[in-house]
Amino acid sequence: MAEPIPAPDTPPRLPPPPFERINDFPDGLSPMLVKELRQGLRTQTFVVLFLSLQAVLAFLLLIAAPIADTNAPAKAGEAVSAIIFCVYALGILVIQPLRGISAVAGEIKQNTIDLMVLTRLSAWRIVSGKWLSIMSQSALITLAILPYLILRYFFGGMQLFAELALMACLLIVSGALTAFTIGMSSGSALLRGLIVVGGSTFMMGYVLFGLSQQIPYLIEVLSFTRSDQSLTLLAVLAIALYACYFFLEIGTTSIAPASENRATRKRLIGLAVMVGSYLLLHPVGPEPALITALIIAGCMALDLFSEQVKFPSVVCRRFVRLGPFGRVAGRFLYPGWATGALFFCGITLILFLLIYMTNPDPKQFSYAAIGLGTLAFPAALLQIFARKSSNLFSFYSTLLVLCFILTCIVFTIHGTASGSQFLWLFSFIPASLLPIVSQTSPSPEQSTALLLSFLVPGIYLLFLLGRAFSHLMALSGMESQALADLDEKTS
Amino acid sequence: MSAAISVRLLYRYFGTIKAVNGISFDIPHGSVCGFVGANGAGKTTTMRMLATLDYPTMGSAEICGVSVVNHPDKVRSLIGWMPDHFGNYEHMTVLEYLDFYARALGYTGNERRSRIEEVMAFADLVPLADRLSNKLSKGMTQRLCLGRALLHDPQVLIMDEPAAGLDPRARVELKHLIRILAEEGKTIFISSHILSELGEMCDSLLFINAGRIIHHGDAESLKHGSDEAGGAFYDIQVDDRPDSVSDWVVLNPDVEVIESRKKGARIRISSAEPAKAADVLRKMVRDGVRVTEFHREERNLEDAFIDILGQIEQGNADIEPSGELQTSPPQAIRELLENTDSSPLQSPPSTEPEEGNSGGTSPLSS
């Protein structure tokens, strides 16, 4: 029998704690970004997506190379480009943005948001950190795909700069979509479900059947040979960047303390982008300019009509310091749907003024009124049926989506049936008047539609202002309180 | 010197629900105070207000002399908060979890590393450094949460039900850590349903019921009885019919039968003074009750809590020792309630929001 091993004099040396590992990211990076990257790079979604893209693209090039040797190499190259862009777009326009859909909701559900609020992280840093993390991973995917695009150069017929620019543009659009899902992730489960199912189906359909057809055109646009196309592209990029900011602000607002006024900045930036993009795009044509302005107004409306109306008087301090001018500005810029309704009326007037200055065609005014009225309609419904809801944002977004779907159905039925009687039935949704208003030949029917296109939105706006009246009156009391606090602080 | 935690006439109403209804109390520096109450009594709401995660409808609360309403940012550097439930992150190790919070608290470089090392050593987390934070047992998770709460070395720890769901061993470990922190001079405000544990580690106990403080005193006086706690308890055995005690008590208003027993009864004498007990005994013997045993009983804290609740229901106890509680909300509160719709009152904190991190709670988390 073997002799027992004598006990050592000193206990066995344990491996040192892995403290060095916490220096894997520099101190200068946002803590939120570090956290999200550490988690995100380990998720199966990212790893599987990253490896699948590599496998698919490597396989594709292996097949394409022999074909290109025998047949027309330029044709094979174009096909390879289209496939690379489709696969890439599926990754960064569908899968990556969907990863943001539970970003804020997850933190709230897990009760970890309180723990973060108690640190030095602001709500904006929390939300933007989540966005940056997903975008970093999207950028990583982009970098990983670049070699395949360069390899495709050897097939010939490639416009290298334009194709790289297209890749960058898709990345920017991916940023906007990711911001959209992160912003919406504070909404209700129903809304998130709609986005996951409806949004991903729509985007997947667009990538597979729309984008793949548009790639040659997009590459032509990105060659920057025509000034109007370049302006359009700039406007689209401006909208995408604004969408990034706007939807990240939506997410931020949902977790920020009530004493933090985020409404003023959001509204002023939105207004500036709307006016800027309208003026930028007007040389291209009045319709693209108006559509762009209405899209931005739509983004703003999501927030304007759904902000909680209560906020602490501390928010008023900066305005009351400016005297009567500040108080008037406050009526448009304080948080809450009541001031939001007033601000929306301001947007309407500014858009009409822009049209008047650039292209005073009655139809343009009518289109603007129809667009803005369609945005005001769900807000009016909200004030009738769900005024006291704690999640006005989800309600408004859902109603707006339902209005959009209903309008599409009405247009489809109108397209198959003769006559416009059917459209009049749905004139409570101003957008349903569009086919009549846009008729080329003037008719009594069109005149009525033009009249209605101003009347119906006007009624909605008046109704909203009526509902907002008591809240707007109550602002004076809050301003007095803020003034008293300021006096107390000074004394 | 001001108290570590000072609360004055604090109210928190959610619509018409009076979650916290005008409470006042002080907790001195370096003490451990247990916060006891049934579910829905207002414990968590009070603690969230102290942790700057919720606004009071009215009233004031200060941590180390700093108002939680006016200066939430300063208060946040003074407190460590352990919520009753929280989730851990997926795909993140214990070390990375602490590193994230250390970064979020503004620590950099070697200071960050040393803070993490310190709390990991204190909470015995070093062996768990590489474990995923969402795969820990409840006890380990609570140690991790304690480590996180201690990262910035706060003066006051607010712990909401930290022992809930822990096995006996984990409870002992947590109790041990809390005692060490108390010895280091930290003020600890801790809520729990397990009163016996609170009794062992707390210097004082604060009972809350339906949003109002019903008792604030030390655990010893509750166990042995005090005038404030409603008197003292005695076990009496007689060499006679057991009912003879009850019959005698009917004629003596200072004494109450709490429980009839096989050979006598458990009684409460309204005063905890020993002289009063001697008087009662003398009178019993003089009146012919054949007393064979008469000794003071130690109550457990659950009984004490139930007794106090019973007294409140009978309406014969002062609700708040300090006497500062008002039986109905002040006029200002009533006006506020009349003017509100149905949503929680958003009391205006008079703090100026600072860039980066401003006061108050997130609307969704409250």
| Statement to judge: residues A346 and A226 lie in one domain | no
**With an 8 Å Cβ cutoff, is A26 touching chain B?**
no
A485/B contact by beta carbon, under 8 A = yes
The residue of A14, A39, A102, A114 whose CB has the most chain B CBs within 10 angstroms, and thus the best one to mutate to test that interface, is A114
Q: Which of A152-156, A406-410, B235-239 has the lowest mean pLDDT?
A: A152-156
Structure tokens at B28: 């001195």
Nearest residue, CB atoms, B365 vs list A39, A113, A259: A113
What does DSSP say about strands B17-27 and B5-14: parallel, antiparallel, or unpaired? antiparallel
Per-residue pLDDT tens digits for A356-372? 999 888 889 999 999 99
Q: B42 CB near a chain A CB, below 8 Å?
A: no
* Structural domain contains residue A138: yes
Q: Is residue B313 part of a domain?
A: yes
Flag if B89 and A39 touch (Cβ within 8 Å).
yes
Residues B291 and B311 in one domain: no
Asked whether residue B121 is assigned to any structural domain, the reply reads no
Distance separating alpha carbons of residues A135 and B164, to the nearest angstrom: 40
Same domain flag for B294 and B309: no
Residue B329 inside a domain? The answer is yes
Q: Is residue B366 a part of any domain in this protein?
A: no
Q: DSSP string covering B280-321, please?
A: HHHHHHHTT--EEEEEEEPPPHHHHHHHHHHHHHHT-S-S-T
Span B267-271, average pLDDT = 83
Which of A324, A353, A356 lies closest to A483, judged by CA? Answer: A324
Q: Does B148 touch chain A (CB under 8 A)?
A: yes
Classify residue B258: in a domain, yes or no.
yes
- Give the pLDDT band of residue A13 (cuts 50, 70, 90): low
Question: Do A44 and A182 sit in the same domain of this protein?
Answer: yes
Distance CA B113, CA B99 (A): 8
- Residue-wise pLDDT tens digits, B190-217: 998 777 777 778 888 898 988 998 888 8
Least confident of A7-16, B14-23, B320-329: B320-329
Is residue B348 in a domain? Answer: no
**Tell me: the pLDDT tens digits for A478-488?**
888 888 877 87
Flag whether pLDDT at B361 surpasses 70.
Answer: no
Beta bridge partners of B20: B12
Pairing of strands B32-36, B187-191: parallel
Report the residue from A117, A121, A260 with minimal CB separation from B53.
A117
Statement to judge: residues B244 and B317 lie in one domain: no
Q: Is A254 on the interface with B (CB under 8 A)?
A: yes
Phi, psi of B7 (to 5 degrees): -125, 130
Domain termination site, one of B248, B279, B298: B298
Position A426: which residue type? Answer: F
Residues 6+ apart with CB under 8 A from A165: A222
Same domain for B80 and B203?
Answer: yes
Of B101, B355, B360, the CB nearest to A257: B360
Q: What is the mean pLDDT of residues B334-358?
A: 39
pLDDT tens readout for residues B87-119: 778 888 999 999 999 999 999 988 999 999 999
Give the long-range contacts of residues A189-195, CB within 8 A, separation 24 or more: A189/A105, A190/A394, A190/A398, A191/A394, A191/A397, A191/A398, A192/A101, A192/A102, A192/A105, A194/A398, A194/A401, A195/A101
Chain B: nearest CA to A186, how far in angstroms? Answer: 9
Note the pLDDT of residue B274. 82
For chain B, where are the alpha helices, taking DSSP H only?
A: 43-50, 72-78, 94-104, 109-122, 138-149, 168-183, 195-201, 219-224, 243-250, 274-286, 301-314, 331-339
Task: Please indicate whether residue B341 or residue A140 has the higher confidence score (pLDDT).
Answer: A140
Contact at CB, A114 and B362, closer than 8 angstroms: yes
Nearest CB to B90; choose among A39, A108, A261: A39
Looking from the CA of A199 toward its CB, the CA atoms found within 13 Å total 23
CA distance A301 to A309: 15
Which chain A residues contact residue B90 at CB under 8 A?
A: 39, 43
Question: Is the domain of B189 the same as that of B159?
Answer: yes
In terms of CA atoms, which chain A residue is nearest residue B91?
A39
Nearest to B343 among A34, A254, A310 (CB): A310
Q: Do A254 and B363 touch (CB under 8 A)?
A: yes
Count: domains in chain B = 2
Contacts of A112 in chain B (CB under 8 A): 86-89
Tell how strand B212-217 and strand B204-209 pair up: antiparallel
Place of tokens 């209405």: A294
Comparing CA positions, the residue from B101, B88, B83 lying closest to residue B190 is B83
Round to whole Å and give the CA distance between A100 and A192.
Answer: 10
CA distance A345 to chain B (A): 26
* Percent of residues, chain A, with pLDDT higher than 70: 93
**Residue A24 belongs to a domain:** no
The pLDDT score that the predictor gives to residue B346 is 37
> How far apart, in whole angstroms, are the C-alpha atoms of residue A48 and residue A71?
34
> In terms of domains, do A79 and A210 share one?
yes
- Comparing CB atoms, the residue among A19, A116, A259 nearest residue B104 is A116
State whether B157 and B269 are in the same domain: no
**Boundary-marking domain end, from A199, A231, A252:** A252
d(CA A321, CA B277): 68
Sign of CA dihedral B189, B195, B199, B201: negative
Of all helices (H) and strands (E), which one includes residue A418? Answer: none
Please check whether residues B159 and B211 belong to one and the same domain.
yes
As for how many domains chain A has, the answer is 2
* Structure tokens that stand for A12 in this block: 């066995």
Is B338's Cβ below 8 Å from some Cβ in A? Answer: no
Residue A22 resides in a domain: no
Nearest CA in chain B to A488: B350
Question: In a mutagenesis test of the A interface, which of B157, B357, B366 is the best target, namely the one with the most A β-carbons within 10 Å?
Answer: B357
Are A34 and B126 within 8 A, CB to CB?
no
Q: How far apart are CA A456 and CA A427, in angstroms?
A: 8
Amino acid at B215: H
pLDDT score recorded for residue B281: 86
Question: Is there a domain that residue B186 lies in?
Answer: yes
For A418, list phi and psi in degrees, rounded to 5.
-95, 155
For residues A73 and A429, the model is more confident at A429
With a CB cutoff of 8 Å and minimum separation 6, the contacts of B234 are B266, B267, B268, B269, B277, B294, B295, B296, B297
Residues within 8 A of B (CB atoms), A 108-147 only: 108-123, 125
* Minimum distance, in Å, between the CA of residue A389 and any CA atom of chain B: 9
Question: ipTM of the predicted structure?
Answer: 0.72
Q: Is residue A11 part of a domain?
A: no
> B262 and B165 in one domain?
no
- Residue A261 C-alpha, separation from nearest chain B C-alpha, in angstroms: 9
Q: Which positions in chain A touch B96 (Cβ < 8 Å)?
A: 21-22, 35, 38
User: Percentages helix, strand, coil for chain A, rounded to the nearest 5?
Assistant: 80, 0, 20
Q: Are residues B21 and B82 in the same domain?
A: yes
Q: Does residue A434 form part of some domain?
A: yes
The reply to whether A274 and A219 lie within a common domain is no
Residue A398, pLDDT above cutoff 90: no
Q: Which of A252, A274, A292 is the last residue of a domain?
A: A252
pLDDT score recorded for residue B225: 62
Burial A299-318 (b: 16+ CB within 10 A, else e): bbbbbbbbbbbbbbbbbbbb
Whether residue B285 sits in one domain with residue B141: no
A280 & A248 share domain: no
In a domain, A398, yes or no: no
Q: Is residue A147 part of a domain?
A: yes
Same structural domain, A71 and A220:
yes
Interface test with B, best of A118, A125, A485 (most B CBs within 10 A): A118
Instruction: Provide the domain limits for residue B149.
Output: 5-88+136-222+305-339
What mean pLDDT is reported for chain A?
86
Residues A230 and A364 in one domain: no
Q: How far apart are CA B342 and CA A12, in angstroms?
A: 65
Distance from CA of B301 to the nearest CA of A (A): 31
User: Which residues of B are less than 8 Å from A313 in CB distance?
Assistant: 348, 350
Q: Are residues A380 and A344 in the same domain?
A: yes
Please indicate, yes or no, whether residues B261 and B141 belong to a single structural domain of this protein: no
Whether A284 and A325 map to the same domain: the answer is yes
Q: Which of A217, A252, A287 is the last residue of a domain?
A: A252
Mean pLDDT across the stretch B61-65?
93
Determine contact, residues B15/B340, Cβ cutoff 8 Å: yes
Q: Looking at residue B251, which CATH number applies to its domain? A: 3.30.70
Measured between alpha carbons, how far is residue A64 from residues A71, A76, A88, A329, A460 in Å? 10, 7, 17, 62, 58
A123 chain-B contacts, CB cut-off 8 A: 362
Is A329 found in the same domain as A238?
Answer: no
Q: Which residue has the higher pLDDT, A169 or A4?
A: A169
What single-letter amino acid sits at A451? L
Residue range(s) defining the domain that contains residue A215: 31-252
Domain identity same for A309 and A243? no
Q: Which residues of B touch A22 (CB under 8 A)?
A: 95-96, 99, 112-113, 116
Instruction: Clarify whether residues A151 and A106 are in a common domain.
Output: yes
Is residue A384 one of the residues assigned to a domain? yes
Helix axes A160-184, A227-255, angle to 10 degrees: 30
pLDDT value, residue B254: 84
Identify whether B293 is part of a domain: yes
Same domain, B151 and B215: yes
